[in-house]
Amino acid sequence: MFRVKKLYIFMLKTFLPQFLMTFLICLFIVMMQFLWGHIDDLVGKGLGIDVVAELFFYAALSLVPLSLPLAILLASIMTFGNLGEHVELTAMKSSGISLMRVMAPLIVLVSLISAGSFYFQNNVLPMAQVKMWTLLYSFRQKSPTLDIPEGAVYTQIPGYNLYVLHKDERNNMLYNLLIYDVGSDMSSPRIVAADSGRLDFTPDQKHLVLNLYRGNWYEQMPSGGTQSMGDDLYRRESFREKEIMIPYDNNFTRMDDNEMRQQFVGKNISELSHTIDSVQLRLDSATREVARDMRSTPIVGVPTRHVVVRDGKQSFELVEPVHPAEPVRIDSMLGSLTPIERQMLVDQALSKVTNLKQDYMFKGYAVNDDSFVIRRHMIEWQKKYTLSLACLIFFFIGAPLGAIVRKGGLGTPIVLSVALFVVYYIFDNTGYKMARDGHWPVWQGMWLSSAVLLPLGVFLTKKAVNDSAVFNPDAWMNALRRITGLHQVRNLQIKEVIITEVDTDAATAALEQLRQHAEQLSTRYKSRQGFLDYWRRGYDRKAIAELSAEVESVVDMLSNTRNQMVLNKAMDFPIVRNLIAYQPCRHAGLGTALACLVPLSVPAYLVGARYQATLRRELRQTATVCSQLCAILRGEYTREMEYNVS
């Protein structure tokens, strides 16, 4: 009988609360991004809470596939970071449980989440996106709620500008109105001024009724074409009460879902594949027709191919070229025509070329439209797989990363997950735009982010399983020091348990030998090398490596002493590094060739000369420290000798 191990239950209980919490946080973040992007479609429309809540519900469903990868990444970093920080992961490994075995139940869980994400995108997401985009387009067509300000021009009524000096909201009265009809003919404007007025809607909410009191109507009228009436006709009308009805639909009309269902956002995989095949068949037929027309079109009035039908199949065959007995002299032919005939000939040729160009441009637009439709459907088809796979990829990035950094909570995991998700978003958005615009194949653009992050997941998983110190700051600093040549400092402490005590005679002999070798190298390289000498010979890196090993051997021997003074003085030994800058090339001929690369060789020489000067100083310091340690071991050391350090 299959029994679930307590380790698996423990990992699931640890991961699931973190996942649910991070999923809600990520969903809230992307919802705020969605609201920020469509705030103009919602504000000032007088929409009911139920309609807005319905939009947010469908938007939340549409954003679930985008929130899942980020939530899994953050939850996995937090889970394994907490285990590493509380030494629980170390205890599991010390018990013989590998990291992959610890991750096994979560791998199964995330795989099920990925499969559920695919099912959700294929069956639920199309319906949610249809509802969401239908509501958004309905919101955009909704007229804004009337909120006429005081002392400002109100332009939200289509075709009219309204100015109100003062308004009384209790009885819905407006005072000192000025109405300018901007929807009428601009050559005959109409302006209405009134002392007061009232604004109401018709019962069907489709017209705006403006009752005006005590005012004037000004209108400039067209003359009607009669010269006796003059060109400037002007009409003025004074009224005590006047009613103006303005078309203004204040209702919220929901669009039909069927139109949005035909778009790529409202289709599952089978429907997307069917649409792609149908449009591709139409595109192939259109391109074949365009190619056939181009092949059959005469060039300069001379046909190059003729149509041949064999076995019911149509094909094109080249027309035998015509070889005139004498070359055609176009200039002589044009010279024999009158200027008017030449102009007519040029106009006819230009007209034919323009018509032919416009015809092919129109056909090209139709082909481009079909190609764009195919790309958008293929992008949606590929996205259902890439977003599902992203859940697995982010888990294999987050879990090893948390095990490596060993930091739980919300601080470090949020920083790491946001940085990784930004990288993912940049690559995913770049690939999407390149695929949408046709610069890349669709599969290449949509799988770009997965192709970039999958090797990272494999690398981190391998490092975490092997307990590699990927994020050990000391390892990175040592590597940086080796690359840049930064100074390193020794740190020696008295050991609590010493197995082999330091033999004074042996230590003194080793120090004397080390001093002689350091002085020999220091004498050999007294001053800075010349430019060509540096590139052709440099410093002997083999001798430097042997001296460095000898220094480390002496320091290791002296680290077993109980004399604090000896230990402190041993820390004065420099760390002799074997840098490439000491000898950039071992072959004189190749070094001469590198020296000829003047734009690059001169700065490299200056850097190498600086490192060589540091090495010469380290050699002198090594010899001096050896002399001082010998004096300490013999009991002859004085404080004056401290100032002999070079």
| Least confident interval from 6-15, 82-91, 240-249, 421-430 | 240-249
Cα 562 to chain center, whole Å?
59
pLDDT of residue 645 exceeding 50: no
Question: Could you tell me if 488 and 633 lie in one domain?
Answer: yes
- Does some domain include residue 239? yes
What is the DSSP-derived secondary structure letter of residue 299? B
Question: Could you tell me if 279 and 348 lie in one domain?
Answer: yes
Instruction: Give the residue-averaged pLDDT of 87-96.
Output: 86
Question: Could you tell me if 271 and 398 lie in one domain?
Answer: no
Question: Could you tell me if 390 and 525 lie in one domain?
Answer: no
Distance between CA atoms of 60 and 327, rounded to whole angstroms? 75
Cβ-contact 386, 443 below 8 angstroms: no
- Does some domain include residue 473? no
Question: Could you tell me if 395 and 364 lie in one domain?
Answer: no
Last residue of a domain, one of 343, 378, 413: 378
Distance between CA atoms of 35 and 54, rounded to whole angstroms? 13
Residue among 424, 422, 416, 420 nearest 386 (CA) = 424
Cα 561 to chain center, whole Å?
57
pLDDT for 222 equals: 63
Residue type, 11: M
Selected residue with higher pLDDT from 320 and 374: 374
pLDDT tens-digit map of 510-559: 999 999 999 999 998 888 888 888 888 889 889 999 999 999 999 888 88
Question: Could you tell me if 288 and 430 lie in one domain?
Answer: no
Selected residue with higher pLDDT from 468 and 54: 54
Cβ-contact 585, 535 below 8 angstroms: yes
Question: How many Cα atoms sit within 13 Å of 276 on the Cβ side?
Answer: 18
- Does some domain include residue 257? no
Other residues' Cβ atoms within 10 Å of the Cβ of residue 9:
11
Distance between CA atoms of 97 and 79, rounded to whole angstroms? 17
**Distances, alpha carbon 526 to alpha carbons 290, 296, 539, 591, 607, in Å:** 81, 86, 11, 22, 18
- Does some domain include residue 432? yes
Tell me the average pLDDT of the chain. Answer: 84
- Does some domain include residue 234? yes
Question: Could you tell me if 23 and 68 lie in one domain?
Answer: yes
Question: Could you tell me if 132 and 225 lie in one domain?
Answer: no
pLDDT tens-digit map of 103-128: 999 999 999 999 999 999 999 999 99
Question: How many Cα atoms sit within 13 Å of 190 on the Cβ side?
Answer: 13
- Does some domain include residue 347? yes
Distance between CA atoms of 55 and 546, rounded to whole angstroms? 74
pLDDT of residue 49 exceeding 90: no
Question: Could you tell me if 621 and 531 lie in one domain?
Answer: yes
Give alpha helix (H) positions in 302-447: 330-335, 339-405, 411-436, 442-446
User: C-alpha dihedral over 604, 607, 609, 614, to 10 degrees?
Assistant: -150
Q: Which residues contact 603 (CB under 8 A, 6 or more apart)?
A: none
Cα dihedral across residues 595, 600, 606, 609: positive or negative: negative
| Six-digit token string for 53 | 């809540």
Last residue of a domain, one of 378, 411, 435: 378
Query: What value, to the nearest 5°, has the Cα angle with vertex 303 and ends 298 and 307?
Result: 105
Distance between CA atoms of 558 and 629, rounded to whole angstroms? 10
Residue type, 365: Y
pLDDT tens-digit map of 265-322: 889 999 999 999 999 998 888 888 887 777 777 776 667 776 676 776 766 676 677 6
**Distances, alpha carbon 641 to alpha carbons 337, 617, 636, 637, in Å:** 112, 18, 10, 7
Question: How many Cα atoms sit within 13 Å of 217 on the Cβ side?
Answer: 14
pLDDT of residue 366 exceeding 90: no
Percentage of the chain exceeding pLDDT 90: 30
The domain tally of the chain equals 4
- Does some domain include residue 406? yes
What is the DSSP-derived secondary structure letter of residue 497? S
Percentage of the chain exceeding pLDDT 70: 86
Question: Could you tell me if 403 and 432 lie in one domain?
Answer: yes
| Six-digit token string for 244 | 């103006």
Cα 116 to chain center, whole Å?
26
- Does some domain include residue 127? yes
Q: Residue 167 in 3-state DSSP? A: strand
Question: Could you tell me if 562 and 596 lie in one domain?
Answer: yes
Distance between CA atoms of 558 and 498, rounded to whole angstroms? 11
pLDDT tens-digit map of 396-436: 999 999 988 888 777 888 888 888 988 998 999 999 999 99
| Six-digit token string for 208 | 């705006």
Question: Could you tell me if 484 and 616 lie in one domain?
Answer: yes
**Strand ranges, E, within 182-336:** 190-201, 207-221, 233-247, 305-310, 313-318
For 440-452, give the DSSP string.
S-HHHHHTHHHHH
Cβ-contact 247, 206 below 8 angstroms: yes
pLDDT of residue 560 exceeding 70: yes
Distance between CA atoms of 237 and 536, rounded to whole angstroms? 104
Last residue of a domain, one of 465, 487, 519: 465
Other residues' Cβ atoms within 10 Å of the Cβ of residue 89:
21
**For the chain, how big is the Rg over CA atoms in Å?**
42
Note down the domain range covering 113.
6-141+384-465
Residue type, 396: F
